[in-house]
């Protein structure tokens, strides 16, 4: 299996970016807290994921596999 490198993303969302998840009944306000980049042995970028947190029942929940499309769809107008 070969892994095809991806180009550097045009938009990298900075830490602190707030977005709303796409829940029909219960959308959640999430915040980007980290950016994870995966490189292969040749040093080529193969994956970009974001770490985001949101509050649920008074606790902080962390999602370690958020893609840029999710953030782009839910960006808030104050960014």
User: Is position 1 within any domain?
Assistant: no
Sheet holding 45-56, edge to edge: 18-20, 29-39, 45-56, 59-66
Domain that holds residue 64: 18-74
User: Is position 67 within any domain?
Assistant: yes
pLDDT of residue 78 exceeding 60: no
Do the Cβ atoms of 60 and 53 come closer than 8 Å?
yes
User: Is position 5 within any domain?
Assistant: no
User: Is position 10 within any domain?
Assistant: no
User: Is position 26 within any domain?
Assistant: yes
31-68 pLDDT per residue, tens: 999 999 998 898 888 889 999 999 989 999 999 999 99
User: Is position 27 within any domain?
Assistant: yes
Beta carbons within 8 Å of 23's beta carbon, 6+ residues apart: none
Say how many domains are in the chain. 1
């Amino acid at each position: 299996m070969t892994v095809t490198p991806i180009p550097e993303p045009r938009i990298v969302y900075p830490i602190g970016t707030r977005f709303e998840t796409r829940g029909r009944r219960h959308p959640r306000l999430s915040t980007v807290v980290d950016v994870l980049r995966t490189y292969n042995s040749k040093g080529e970028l193969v994956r970009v994921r974001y770490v985001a947190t949101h509050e649920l029942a008074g606790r902080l929940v962390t999602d370690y596999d958020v893609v840029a499309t999710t953030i782009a769809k839910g960006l808030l107008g104050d960014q």
